[in-house]
Amino acid sequence: MSMPIAFYICLTLILFIFSGTDGYFYHRLAQCRFSSKDLHGIELIDSYVFNKAEYVRFNSTVGRYVGYTEYGVKNAKAWNSDAGILGQEQAELERVCKTGAAIDYSNILDKTVEPHVRLSSVTPPSGRHPAMLMCSAYDFYPKPIRVTWLRDGREVKSDVTSTEELANGDWYYQIHSHLEYTPKSGEKISCMVEHISLTEPMMYHWDPSLPEAERNKIAIGASGLVLGTILALAGLIYYKKKSSGVL
Q: Output the pLDDT for position 234.
A: 66
Domain end: 109, 128, 143, which one?
A: 109
Short-list 93, 116, 79, CA closest to 41: 93
Q: How far apart are CA 149 and CA 154, in angstroms?
A: 8
Res 11: pLDDT: 40
Q: Do 195 and 133 share a structural domain?
A: yes
Q: Which of 228, 218, 139, 230 is nearest to 184 (CA)?
A: 218
Domain hosting 181: range is 116-209
- In a shared domain, residues 204 and 158: yes
User: Within this chain, do residues 74 and 145 fall inside the same structural domain, yes or no?
Assistant: no
Q: What is the pLDDT of residue 99?
A: 87
User: Do the domain assignments include residue 229?
Assistant: no
Question: Are residues 33 and 97 both part of a single domain?
Answer: yes
| 172 in any annotated domain | yes
| Cα three-residue angle 163-166-171, rounded to 5 degrees | 155
- Domain with residue 29: its CATH number is 3.10.320.10
- The verdict on 94 and 11 lying in the same domain is yes
Domain C-terminal end among 109, 129, 154: 109
* Same domain (yes/no): 60, 105: yes
pLDDT of residue 17: 41
The predicted structure's pLDDT at residue 46 = 95
Domain membership of residue 101 (yes or no) is: yes
Looking at residue 130, which CATH number applies to its domain?
Answer: 2.60.40.10
Block mean pLDDT (10 aa), the chain, length 247:
42 42 80 83 93 94 95 96 94 89 77 94 85 96 95 93 94 95 92 96 85 55 65 68 63
Residue 241 confidence (pLDDT): 66
Any domain includes 100: yes
Number of domains present in the structure of the chain: 2
Tell me, yes or no, whether 245 lies in a domain. no
pLDDT at 12: 41
Question: Do 70 and 9 belong together in one domain?
Answer: yes
Same domain, 33 and 102: yes
Residues 12 and 99 in one domain: yes
C-alpha angle with apex 237: 232 to 240, nearest 5 degrees? Answer: 125
Q: Which pLDDT belongs to residue 213?
A: 54
Q: Clarify whether residues 41 and 76 are in a common domain.
A: yes
Euclidean distance between CA atoms 98 and 230, whole angstroms: 71
Q: Is residue 222 part of a domain?
A: no
Amino acid 44: pLDDT = 94
Shared domain check, 129 and 51 = no
Please give the full DSSP string across the chain, using - where no structure is assigned: -PPPEE------------BTTB---EEEEEEEEE-STT-TT-EEEEEEEETTEEEEEEETTTTEEEESSHHHHHHHHHHHT-HHHHHHHHHHIIIIIIHHHHHHIIIIIT--BPPEEEEEEE--SSSS-SEEEEEEEEEEBSS--EEEEEETTEEE-TTEEEPPPEE-SSS-EEEEEEEEE---TT--EEEEEE-TTSSS-EEEE--S---HHHHHHHHHHHHHHHHHHHHHHHHHHHHHHHHTT--
pTM of the shown model: 0.51
Residues 188 and 162 in one domain: yes
Q: Is residue 246 part of a domain?
A: no
Residue 89 lies inside a defined structural domain of this protein: yes
